[in-house]
């Protein structure tokens, strides 16, 4: 009778061991998948941060040029689509737009103006990335001076 009981217990042990291995493999797969998703989100956020930095740099340059051409320039707002950004993130499963705000404020020194640019990606209340940059410019009323000028 003993050999017969061992034969019946062995299939049960094999099934339990196989089930335990499947549980362990599933736990590892879930852990790896979670890490891949987290890494993908971090990469997407980093990409959006870099895009926001570039947009604010472009906005500051454009605002400085506009101020040189028109002293009355007081700012603008850009609304950009994914196509406007010239990039396709279809391979990342991502599509987003951006909004850039430019305003001209008086700086701390009365002889200067401060250009403030803020990029928001994606626009709206659910924005994940905001980047703000400033640039202080001399007032257009100030005469240009160079390092070599001296007072009489």
User: What sign does the dihedral 81-87-91-94 (CA atoms) show?
Assistant: negative
Grade residue 147 by pLDDT with cuts at 50, 70 and 90: very low
Q: What is the pLDDT of residues 88-135, one digit of tens each?
A: 555 555 567 889 999 998 766 666 888 999 999 887 767 688 999 999
Q: pTM for this structure? A: 0.66
Residue 9: per-residue pLDDT: 64
Counting Cβ atoms within 10 Å, is residue 55 exposed (0-12), middle (13-18) or buried (19+)? buried
Grade residue 143 by pLDDT with cuts at 50, 70 and 90: very low
Residue 148: per-residue pLDDT: 39
Residue 145: per-residue pLDDT: 41
Q: What is the pLDDT of residues 64-91, one digit of tens each?
A: 999 889 888 889 999 888 777 665 555 5
């Amino acid at each position: 009778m003993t050999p017969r009981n061992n034969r019946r217990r062995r299939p049960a042990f094999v099934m339990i061991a196989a089930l335990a291995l499947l549980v362990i493999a599933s736990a590892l797969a879930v852990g790896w998948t979670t890490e891949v998703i987290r890494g993908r989100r971090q990469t997407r956020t980093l990409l959006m941060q870099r895009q926001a930095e570039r947009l604010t740099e472009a906005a500051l340059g454009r605002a400085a040029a506009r101020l040189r051409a028109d002293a009355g320039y007081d700012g603008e707002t850009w609304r950009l689509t994914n196509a406007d950004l010239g990039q396709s993130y279809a391979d990342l499963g991502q599509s987003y737009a951006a909004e850039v705000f430019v305003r001209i404020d008086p700086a701390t020194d009365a002889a200067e103006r401060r250009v403030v640019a803020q990029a928001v990606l994606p626009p709206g209340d659910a924005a994940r990335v905001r980047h703000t940059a400033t640039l202080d410019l001399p007032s257009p009323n100030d005469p240009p001076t160079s390092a070599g000028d001296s007072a009489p």
